[in-house]
Every structure is written in C-alpha cells, then in structure tokens.
Structure 1
Amino acid sequence: MNVKALIRRVNHTLKLHKLFPEHSRILIACSGGPDSMALLHLLQDIAAHRHTKYKLGIAIVDHSIRPESKDEVLWLQNQVDALGLSFYTTTFDVPTLSKDLKLSEETVGRQVRYQWLNEIAHSEGYDYIAVAHHKDDQAESILAHLIRGTGLNGLTGMAVVSHDYDIPVIRPLLDVTKEELLAYLADRKLTYCIDSTNDDIRYQRNRIRHRIIPELESINPNVVDAIARLGCSVSEDLAVISNLTVQAFERLVTIDKNEMRLSRKALRKEPVAIQRRLWQRLMSSIDSDITLTTAHQEQLLDIVNTGEGKTFTIKSIKVTAQCDTIKVYCKH
C-alpha cells in the first residue's frame, strides 16, 4: 500500500474542485466504520501534506437500529477525544420514524442525518461537511438508479461537491476504492467498527454490493472502475446539454409578469433531449418542488407536436396551447 500515493490522489480530487483551502473548518460525518475513519485520518494527512491546519469536527448519528450503536458512539468519542478534536452526537429513532412516515429506514436515516449535520455545521461555524462515499459506493449508487429507472441525471452518481443544503457536502474519496481504504487502515494500524447491517441483504444497497457487483465482476473484474467512468462521462455530457438548454430557454421563452410563452413551431425544431429539459426548467422556475415524470414529459411532448388546443396541469402549474402559442403559468 502506497500511502503517499493515496494521499496525493485524494489531494488531487480536492484541488481539482478548489476545496479545503488553508485553515478550513470541516465537519466529518463519521460512523466509526472503516470508510469514515479512513476519511478522518486522510484529512489529517492531507493537512500535513499541504503544510496547513484544518479545524476538524467529528459528528455521529445513532439511528437506533442496532443495540450496539450506543457503544459505537462511546468508542468513537474516546477516539476523537484522544485526537483532541470536537465531537458531536445525536440520536434518532429511525425505525419508528420509518413506520410513521411510511418510508424506508435508509431514506429516513439519510434525511435526518443530513439535516442534523447541516444544523451542527451551521451553528458551530463549519465551512464544509465531509462524507466518506468512495468509488464502490459510487458504482452501487449508479446501479441503484439504473435498476429503479433513470435518465442521464441518475447515471452521474454522486458529485464531489453537493449543494443540497446550506453547507456544502464534500465527498473527497470518490476516486478511491474500498479495498484501498482498508489497506490504508491496515498500513496505519487504525481500528474501526463493523456495522452488522451492512451484510443484511434486505436493504437494496447491500443486495447490490454483495450479489450484483460480484456477479458483474465475474464478467469484468474492473466493473466498479467502468461504472465510475460512466458516471464521469455522463456528467461531462450533461454539462453540455444543460448549457444548450439554458441557451434554448433564453432564445425561445418570453417572460411576462404572470406567465411564460413559447412557440410550438420553434420548440419542435429543438432536439427532444433539449425539449424535455426545457420543460423541466420551465416548471422549476415556477415551482422548484416539481419534478416531471416520464408520463408528464410524454404529455408535454404531445402538446408540442400537435396543432390542437391542449391543456396540461401539474400541481400549481397550468400549460395551455392554442394555435402556435404555449402559455405556462401558476393557476392560483
């Protein structure tokens, strides 16, 4: 295991995205497992590599799913205290919340965890939240989207920098495999906890990890790298398509006080890929919570391709088409 090469690679990811400048304050989401313990120590190594200091804080959520989770929180607190770092913890009853909200434990756990991390980062003055997703997680995420059904957005996987919350969420390890992280921990003689639920194939991600990925690796041993490269390639292509969509919006859409107008004839000349994204942009500019389904998109394409009078309604938005003019407006 070449630890220096690993540190340089993670540092390269951070430099590429202009992340963690001198004296950054970074809140690390840590479960005590191998991935997040590796992230904690790698960030300390990178600070030394850059001849700077970071203010690191460690945050752990007890999801109340496993009886041993309380002991893991205490174990991690002892580790963090020994390093002289700030420590934050909270507890959520995720199984109960999951039943009440009729959502999976995975979904609820992710929602409450990120919301709490953002609140702590805000109140304690951290610049970034760092999470330990790595290349294998990226491959699993892309496969999960593919299995559920996705467009190009789902094939991009997770971004190194995410702005879903007020505080940016950073994934420094997306170019590092799980195997490399375990080798790093072994080389540094670092300890960590093992989450027994990671082997529970009732969870979709675990089925992908323990059954689907190994089967794919029997066909292509480098399938994780291949899927991660696909995600990068799709991201690059989407950036071009997004730029073309912005240009089409500026060229085709007329905005008045209470409505947006565009020409059926002009819209028909655009590639379908641009039309679909243009519709999503139109809807989001009125109501940011609206995400168009495939069925919605097909209805909107039908409005464009026919000369008949048509009306389409989704939540608070109404689309009407008469002759060549399409109008989009809030119906309230």
Structure 2
Amino acid sequence: MNVKALIRTVNHTLKLHNLFPENSRILVACSGGPDSMALLHLLQDIATHRHTEYELGVAIVDHCIRPESKDEVLWLRNQVEILGLPFYTAIFDVPKLSKEQKLSEETIGRHVRYQWLTGIAQSEGYDYIAVAHHKDDQAESILAHLIRGTGLNGLTGMAVVSNDYTVPVVRPLLDVTKEELLLYLKEKDISYCIDSTNEDVRYQRNRIRHCIIPELKAINPIVIDAIVRLGASVREDISLISNLTDMAFDELVTISDEGAFISRRGLRKKPLSIQRRLWQRLVSIFDPEIKLTTAHQEQLLDIVNTGEGKTFNIKSIKVSAQCDTIKVYCKH
C-alpha cells in the first residue's frame, strides 16, 4: 500500500464512523514510537486530503519504566515544536504504583494514561483523543481475550470509537497494518523512537506478538486479517443477541422499589445465551461493578431450572426464588 492508498484507507475508516469533521480539535496520544508518530502525521495528511484543518495537540506520558523515557519526552517535545503544535506531558511512577496496588504495570499504565489524557482533553477543549492501535494490535487484543477466556464480548476486539471516557477515544488506524505504517514512515522520512520493552516477552502482549503470532503466520500467512474478520463477525452477532436480550428483558422483567422480578418459566423458554445476558443486565441494575463469573452463571441456571425455593448471594446482590418468581434486589 502506497502513501496515498494508506491515507485513503484511514480516511475511509473515519468517514464510516462520521469522525473528525472540519476544525475538529484532536489530542493525539503519542509515545514517540512508530505507530503514534505515523498517526500524528497521517492526521495532518488527512486534513490536507479533506481540504480542511484540524487543531492537533500532542500528549505523552512518562511511565518511568525505562531510563531512556525522559530523553524520549524531550525528543518528542522538540519534534512537536518543529510542527508548531501544543505539547502536554506528565510523569507517573508506574512500577511504584504497580507494587502499591498489586496490579500489572500494563494495567496501571493504561489506567493513569487514559485518566490523564481525558483530563487534558477536557480542560483544553479537545473533541477527541486519538490513539494509534492498528490492525496487528487488534488481532493481538482478540487473541489475548481468547487466551483469558472472556467469552464473545472479548472476541470483538477494540472499537474504532470508544465512549468509555468523557471524551471519545478514536482508533483511526485499525484498518492498516504495522508493516504499512512502517513503510509510510520510511517513505516520508519520519523519525521515531524504539521502546526496548516492546521486545520483552515477560509482558503478555509481547509474548503474543513475538511468539504466538509468528507461529500462527507459519500456518496461515494472512492470520492477522482472519482474526480481525472474526472480531468484526462476532461484533455483528453480539449486536443481534443484544437486541434479542432487550426484547426478552422488556417481556420478562418487572422492576419496582422492592427489586426486579422475573418468571422462572418465562426465563426457561429463552436460549441460554439470552439467559446469561439477562442475568448480567439484572445484576448490573443494582451494582454495575459486578461481572458474573461462569460459576455465578451456573448457580443462577440451577435456580431457573429447579422449582424449589432458593436464595443466592453475589456480593451486595441477593437472588431469591419462590415458586415461579425470582426476585433480584440489593441487600441492605
């Protein structure tokens, strides 16, 4: 894919989702690495392609994981000054936070990064946050979820637009590969930094990238495309199942001040996939933080399929079944 074709592909992705209209203010999350440097320059190319202007800002977080990260921030600051763009930076001691909170550096890093990016975007009036995940990242993400056993939802991968934060997070590069981005950088003579931790296979994502994907490519050279197609297909199926779950919810669930009520007999008639999603939705009404495990779902299935009186507790939620009625409510 040449430069023009790459610009057209990214532009097509953005158009499909009605993203980045004229004069959009976009905060680009940039590490100085090849992916994010390609994103930064591609957004400028797309503005030219569309005969419009964007107000771009560049934001980088120093996670304090590598000694060279300070120099990379300074290098990126210089690059951004040459482009004449606003520059934002923050320092978080991720290894320290990781030990204190007993979470992985990847998890802590992602949390503090997005929290800070959202804060900057809000305070500085940006409409979008742009991040540089590409097609290879998408395939790796789907494989990571598959390995963890997250069910269908995990197989959908990353969305082009995520509204999980107060400012939309956009992934314009999900339809292009890492190889295409590297060719773009070479063609346009754009420099970038190399993050040495990307080679460290102690990190799960790197192990998938450097060990598992090459093995899969030996079996199927276009495995990246195959995995990404799977994600898109699952996303379509989940959309249908979600609509059917909405209909079942409206049909079977009654909500009052005392809690939510549902018929055992009515629930038994629904497919298992709908039952599982109904239970998650019911529980989320009272505590959005609760994610039902497979063990929870099996116990709930047992309650539905027996006619006996039963009670079941999930953290702050109580499920009580008497005769045909199951009541779900919050314990006080």
**Which TM-score band applies after superposition, normalised by the shorter structure?**
over 0.9
Structure 2: how far apart are the matches of 1:162 and 1:212?
27
Q: Does 1:37 align with 2:31?
A: no
Structure 2: how far apart are the matches of 1:214 and 1:287?
42
Q: CA deviation at 1:314?
A: 1.0
Q: Does 1:209 align with 2:209?
A: yes
Q: Which amino acid aligns with 1:208?
A: I
Q: Does 1:200 align with 2:215?
A: no
Q: Which amino acid aligns with 2:153?
A: N
Structure 2: how far apart are the matches of 1:270 and 1:294?
18
Structure 2 SS opposite 1:231 = helix
Structure 2: how far apart are the matches of 1:292 and 1:161?
26
Name 2:285's counterpart in structure 1.
285
Which residues of structure 2 form unaligned runs of 5+? none
Structure 2: how far apart are the matches of 1:313 and 1:163?
31
Superposition pairs of residues 1-332 of structure 1, within 5 angstroms: 1-332=1-332
Q: CA deviation at 1:94?
A: 0.5
Q: Which amino acid aligns with 1:236?
A: E
Structure 1: how far apart are the matches of 2:178 and 2:154?
22
Q: Which amino acid aligns with 2:316?
A: S
Q: Which amino acid aligns with 2:54?
A: Y
Q: CA deviation at 1:258?
A: 2.5
Structure 1 SS opposite 2:59 = strand
Query: TM-score with structure 2 length normalisation?
Result: 0.99
Structure 2: how far apart are the matches of 1:295 and 1:17?
38
Structure 2: how far apart are the matches of 1:165 and 1:302?
37
Structure 2: how far apart are the matches of 1:253 and 1:131?
40
Q: CA deviation at 1:176?
A: 0.5
Structure 2 SS opposite 1:270 = coil
Structure 2 SS opposite 1:267 = helix
Structure 2: how far apart are the matches of 1:269 and 1:20?
45
Structure 2 SS opposite 1:132 = coil
Q: CA deviation at 1:287?
A: 1.1
1:87-145: CA deviations, max 9, x gaps? 00000000111111111111110110010000100110111110000000001111111
Structure 1 SS opposite 2:186 = helix
Structure 2: how far apart are the matches of 1:186 and 1:32?
15
Q: CA deviation at 1:256?
A: 1.0
Structure 2: how far apart are the matches of 1:54 and 1:310?
60
Structure 2: how far apart are the matches of 1:312 and 1:14?
47
Structure 1: how far apart are the matches of 2:16 and 2:310?
48
Structure 2: how far apart are the matches of 1:248 and 1:263?
11
Q: Which amino acid aligns with 1:252?
A: L
Q: CA deviation at 1:255?
A: 1.0
Q: CA deviation at 1:331?
A: 1.1
Structure 2 SS opposite 1:254 = strand
Percent identical pairs in the alignment equals: 79
Structure 1 SS opposite 2:114 = helix
Which residues of structure 1 form unaligned runs of 5+? none
Structure 1: how far apart are the matches of 2:153 and 2:249?
19
Structure 2: how far apart are the matches of 1:314 and 1:128?
37
